[in-house]
Amino acid sequence: MTQYAERLAREEPIYTQLSAELLSHPFVFVGTKLDEAPLWQHIQLRSTRGGSGLGELRPKSFLVTPHLDKARQVALSQYNVEWIQMKTDQFTADILSKLEGTNQKGIHAISVRSAAATNNELVIPEVSKLVGGQLIRTDFLLGSEPVWSDIQSGRAILRESDQDLFEKVKDLRNGKGARGIVLLTGTAGSGKSTALMRIALRLSSAGVQVGWVDRESEVSLRGIRHALQNAGAPEVMAIDDADLLGVDLGPTL
């Protein structure tokens, strides 16, 4: 108890790092019910929760424990933590035993991307890497361009059109559409970038590898096409202000 009290009196580097990585990485928690007061203290210090009714945009994480009361189950679901009702030995036998060789695949994927970066090949940024770090205050509500923090913190409200657009993207990914492309148009300031960022975050939080290109990216259409042919390319590509890529955009799509 005294050790917990001492930790509550100050910021702990390990908890600070964990609460930051929870924003951009999926976790599997085993052997805990996530009831440590210092952890929740640091999560709240980061002001990572949006308003009521907003969907959680963290990557999905999993909590493995045989028993969890309903109240904590609901509370954790708000942070995109899903409960897996298993004992540790059962989880090891049923899940971990079937993942043999997965780490080698992951190491290979990382090495491919590292080699591409070393050879100055285009590596498309992933949304999961862009959204990490401290949430910041912005002037979004005063008309500034949206940033990832605006979506995560709830400054950008969820609109009905956002949900309709997300359902359309889900249908395309499930093979219910004739094309795999969604083109979003509208007048300046109508919320196109905000809608696209929310879709990208929702897909990323569901475990989909999403690439992101915007006006700050120094890429060409040729570079994008080449990057998407490489191993480990994003499953979904989101391009904001796509018309900046020039007259070849139409034929490329």
pLDDT digits (tens, 9 = 90+) for 201-241: 888 888 888 989 888 777 777 778 878 887 778 888 898 88
**What is the distance between the alpha carbons of residues 76 and 227, in angstroms, rounded to a whole number?**
37
Sequence-ordered list of residues with C-beta below 8 angstroms from that of 145, at least 6 positions apart, any chain:
193
pLDDT at 90: 92
Rounded to the nearest 10°, the torsion over CA 42, 211, 54, 21 is -10
Domain ranges of the chain: 2-97, 125-252
pLDDT band, very low/low/confident/very high, at 53 (cuts 50, 70, 90): very low
Highest mean pLDDT among 60-74, 108-122, 235-249: 60-74
**What is the distance between the alpha carbons of residues 66 and 86, in angstroms, rounded to a whole number?**
5
Sequence-ordered list of residues with C-beta below 8 angstroms from that of 245, at least 6 positions apart, any chain:
220, 221, 239, 252
pLDDT at 64: 93
**23, 17, 12, 74: which is closest to 48 by C-alpha?**
23
Q: Of all residues in the chain, what percent carry a pLDDT higher than 90?
A: 9
pLDDT at 46: 61
Q: Please say if the pLDDT value at position 183 is more than 90.
A: no
pLDDT digits (tens, 9 = 90+) for 63-109: 999 998 888 888 888 788 889 999 999 998 998 888 888 888 888 87
pLDDT at 17: 78
